[in-house]
């Protein structure tokens, strides 16, 4: 190691290990980070401790502890801080903006957000925000500024038909056996009941509530457990709910 009078840093000459015999990192990233550096990064990004904690997926208390600590900090935050320091625009790319139009749709796979769609149906306007660089995973592919007509085509091809009447016709072609109660189309196949989910919200609510009941003190035979299901019809997929009723 040597220093230069006109250079404030230092140069280390090593071959895989330093003089203490510790193996050097295979990447140009420090092994530790000081609390003051985390605070400086957060302030540079213009974020509160609460917002920064959500960005790096830790609690606000952890951010407070890091920033006030005099000890060197280790772990994934070191690499993440390096990336955010060199590429601060990542924060802008990941940030979810305020809703611009009355309706907001989330195009997701599991818990991964691929596209957010803001819609003004009255004035037929659409604005999208993509959160993946994979065009195949985006709601509108390579299109960054879809028209309202493209949005309607998207709904029909990937979500649901334009009308409930069309949905009823599709499901009747699949199986016309219906239960005796309720105004939704239902049918049974192989001991499993299926119920059409016209709006996408009612089925989700039933699925979530049944999941909560599974964790309650109720016995399985005291409620109906719902699971989501996809129905394939003419190369399109539609959402439905299925439930197994105890005999």
Please tell me the predicted confidence (pLDDT) of residue 194.
Answer: 63
Query: Helices (DSSP H) in the chain: which residue ranges?
Result: 35-44, 49-55, 60-68, 76-86, 89-94, 148-154, 164-174, 201-214
Percent of the chain whose pLDDT exceeds 70: 63
Report the Cα 210 to chain-centroid distance in Å: 22
Residues 184 and 228 in one domain: yes
Counted domains in the chain: 3
Q: Is residue 18 part of a domain?
A: no
**Where a domain ends, among 159, 174, 204?**
159
Kindly write down the DSSP assignment for every residue of 171-217, as one continuous string: HHHH-----SSSSS-EEEETTEEEEE-SSSHHHHHHHHHHHHHHTSS
Say yes or no to pLDDT of 21 above 80. Answer: no
Residue 196, domain CATH: 3.30.200
Residues 174 and 216 in one domain: yes
pLDDT tens string 65-92: 999 998 899 989 999 999 899 988 888 8
Q: Which residue has the higher pLDDT, 45 or 215?
A: 45
Does the model's pTM come out above 0.95?
no
Residues 150 and 179 in one domain: no
Question: Residue 46's pLDDT band (boundaries 50, 70, 90)?
Answer: very high
Q: Is residue 15 part of a domain?
A: no
Q: Is residue 59 part of a domain?
A: yes
Written as six digits, the tokens of 23 are: 């193996």
In which domain, by residue range, is 127 found? 103-159
Q: Is residue 1 part of a domain?
A: no
Please tell me the predicted confidence (pLDDT) of residue 218.
Answer: 77
pLDDT tens string 120-178: 988 999 999 999 989 888 989 999 999 999 998 888 776 655 555 555 555 455 444 44
Q: Is residue 135 part of a domain?
A: yes
Residues 85 and 127 in one domain: no
Please tell me the predicted confidence (pLDDT) of residue 239.
Answer: 63
Please tell me the predicted confidence (pLDDT) of residue 18.
Answer: 53
Q: Is residue 12 part of a domain?
A: no
Q: Is residue 89 part of a domain?
A: yes
Say yes or no to pLDDT of 39 above 90. Answer: yes
Q: What does the mean pLDDT of the chain come to?
A: 75
Percent of the chain whose pLDDT exceeds 90: 26
Say yes or no to pLDDT of 96 above 60. Answer: yes
Please tell me the predicted confidence (pLDDT) of residue 2.
Answer: 47
**Where a domain ends, among 142, 159, 176?**
159
Residues 175 and 236 in one domain: yes
Q: Is residue 9 part of a domain?
A: no
Residue 54, domain CATH: 1.10.260.40
């Amino acid at each position: 190691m040597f220093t230069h009078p006109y250079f404030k840093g230092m140069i280390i000459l090593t071959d895989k290990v330093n003089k203490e015999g510790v193996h050097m990192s295979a990447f140009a990233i420090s092994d530790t980070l000081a609390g003051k550096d985390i605070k400086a990064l957060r302030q540079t990004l213009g974020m509160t401790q609460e917002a920064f904690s959500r960005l790096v997926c830790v609690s606000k208390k952890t951010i407070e502890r890091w920033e006030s600590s005099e000890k060197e900090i280790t772990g994934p935050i070191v690499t993440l801080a390096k990336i955010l320091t060199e590429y601060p625009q990542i924060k802008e790319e990941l940030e979810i903006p305020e809703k611009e139009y009355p309706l907001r749709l989330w195009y997701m796979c599991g818990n991964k957000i691929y596209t957010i769609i803001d819609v003004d149906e009255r004035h037929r306007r659409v604005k999208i925000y993509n959160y993946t660089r994979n065009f195949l995973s985006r709601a509108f592919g390579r299109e960054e500024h879809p028209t309202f007509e493209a949005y309607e085509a998207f709904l029909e091809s990937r979500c649901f038909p334009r009308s409930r009447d069309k949905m009823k016709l599709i499901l009747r072609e699949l199986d016309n056996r219906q239960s005796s109660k309720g105004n939704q189309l239902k049918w049974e196949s192989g001991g499993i009941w299926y119920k059409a989910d016209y709006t996408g919200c009612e089925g989700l609510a039933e699925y979530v509530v049944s999941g909560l009941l599974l964790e309650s003190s109720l016995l399985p035979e005291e409620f109906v457990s719902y699971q989501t299901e996809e129905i394939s019809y003419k190369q399109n997929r539609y959402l439905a709910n299925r439930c197994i009723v105890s005999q």
